Chains A and B, each alone.
Chain A
Amino acid sequence: MTTSSQALITVQNLAFSRGNHVIYDDVSLSIPKGQVTAIMGPSGIGKTTLLKLIGGQLTPDAGQIHFDGVDVHQCSRSDLFKLRKRMSMLFQSGALFTDMNVFDNVAFALREHSGLPEQIIRTIVLMKLEAVGLRGAAQMMPNELSGGMQRRAALARAIALEPELVLYDEPFAGQDPISMGVLVKLIRELSDALNLTSVVVSHDVQEVLSIADYVYVLADKRVVAHGTPQALRLADNPQLQQFISGAPDGPVPFHFPAQDYRKEMLGELD
């Protein structure tokens, strides 16, 4: 684990469950300032849930999550909203407001929180759209954009207020290779240019390993491995290597647990 003195976010002994289904049991990790940290793991492991816990949208059963030293879940609602002005989230679906064009989507948070005059907001929005290559699409509605363009417009909106932290929820899911390449480039370059702390949740292994400074791998309700991308590639952990190589069978079995195949086919089950 990286040193917590440089950490923007620390997660300590986190436990979270939905009903009887335990998602996390004693998870600890830290997200260093100014770096791209990836959180990887199989589908359904609860990676998005972790982002929602960090953003204070969900409350853990046990443990603490600190953002810049402040316990996210002990804040009042107004303090939580103050914290959220310092962070933003890129949702898997983009989550653009469907009744606003791209320009107004990006301008939304600025109009809500900055108090800046409209002329300056216009300049900032055009700069953000230029950064993601969508200045020419400013007047288009979200339903006129491709999936990749929606994700880029949402990214422009996410960095509009120049947050310290950006949480990326499956940014590459469902993207064609060109869009994926554009997003990989944007996430890395924006993080470096704006000195952002980025948390990328994804199971697109190669793309994530190409841009991450540090990686946590979640499985079985806990962190099963962490380290730099180079260290993880060399790690002697069969479960981790199966995940990185994408092997269909291994420690994570191909078959969902079931009763004996032969007996079931012959109708000999009790």
Chain B
Amino acid sequence: MSLIDHIANLGRNAIALVAGFGRAGLMLWGAIARVPNLAKGTPLLIRQLYVVGVQSMVIILVSGLFIGMVLALQGYNILVGFGTEDSLGPMVALSLLRELGPVVTALLFAGRAGSALTAEIGLMKSTEQLSSLEMMAVDPLRQIIAPRFWAGVISLPLLALMFTAVGIYGGHLVGVEWKGIDSGSFWSILQSSVEWRQDIVNCLIKSTVFAVVVTWIALYRGYQVIPNPEGISKATTQTVVQSSLAVLALDFLLTAMMFGS
């Protein structure tokens, strides 16, 4: 392969990438940039909140509990060496609120709900359900994509808060119930260390950004799927990989903006 071929390939890939961003943007614009029809849209949204949000709760809550417990155990072993084990509460809470809550929830959400969204929409495309909607003069972007997008954007920040709350409880179980840290100091130091704006609002901002990106990628991959089993399999894998990488990269950017100075 000559140098010119390499350059041509590079150019083709760059054009394909930009075109992909354009198509993804147009899909999202077509889905959400309209006046919503509340009478028809609300039942669709509620159903998707159940599918996307409620059905993801088990994995999020169980993971949050164990991550909080592991965090507390490791933290305790380090802090006790410096005689500062009373700081275990804020350590667990701030780690969860600032990083692990939004990031791990988004990663789990990408694996659980994102892949399911891609597979569902991919299957709808391969069984011609999307074409069928179009032929019935019903816009699939409005009927299928929009309620799933909003369900993801609403669900993920709430799931991140639940993950964090359960994680803190897991930390309490290990630190207070097992390792014997004083319960009063655990909670009081935690309460005085956590700030509303700096920690909780930033947690919500991060998880909202992750929610938009993960849900958008999942829906786009499903909508653009090559309608056969191999295409759907490939698209679900792409959803998990691309969402995870996007979440980790965006996490660094957001952390730098929020806590860099």
Contacts and interface: CB of A to CB of B under 8 A. Distances in A.
> A and B bound?
yes
Interface of A: 52, 55, 57, 81-82, 84-85, 87-89, 91-93, 95-98, 108-109, 112-113
B86 to A, nearest CB: 52
Contacts of A113: 136-137
B55 interface: no
A57 B131 contact: yes
Interface of B: 40, 123-124, 127-129, 131-132, 134-139
Contacts of B137: 81-82, 84-85, 109, 112-113
A13 B128 CA distance: 28
B134 A95 contact: no
A112 B135 contact: no
Given A92-B128, A95-B127, A97-B129, A57 B136 contact: no
Contacts of A85: 137
Given A96-B129, A109-B136, 7 more contacts: A55-B135, A84-B134, A87-B135, A91-B132, A97-B132, A112-B40, A113-B137
Contacts, number: 49
Most-contacted residue by chain A among B124, B135, B138, B139 (CB, 10 A)? B135
B132 A95 contact: yes
Contacts of A112: 40, 136-138
B135 A88 contact: yes
B134 A57 contact: yes
Contacts of A97: 129, 132
Contacts of B132: 89, 91, 95, 97
A112 B138 CA distance: 8
Contact of B127 (A52, A88, A98): A98
Nearest to A160: B136
Nearest to A78: B137
Nearest to B136: A109
A57 B127 contact: no
A82 to B, nearest CB: 7
Contact of B129 (A57, A81, A87, A98): A98
Contacts of B136: 84, 88, 108-109, 112-113
B135 A84 contact: yes
A113 B37 CA distance: 13
Contacts of B139: 81
A82 B128 CA distance: 21
9 contacts: A84-B137, A88-B135, A89-B135, A91-B128, A91-B131, A97-B129, A108-B138, A109-B138, A113-B136
A84 B136 CA distance: 6
B61 to A, nearest CB: 26
Contacts of B124: 98
A81 B139 CA distance: 9
Contacts of A84: 134-137
A57 B128 contact: no
B157 to A, nearest CB: 26
A75 to B, nearest CB: 12
Nearest to A92: B128
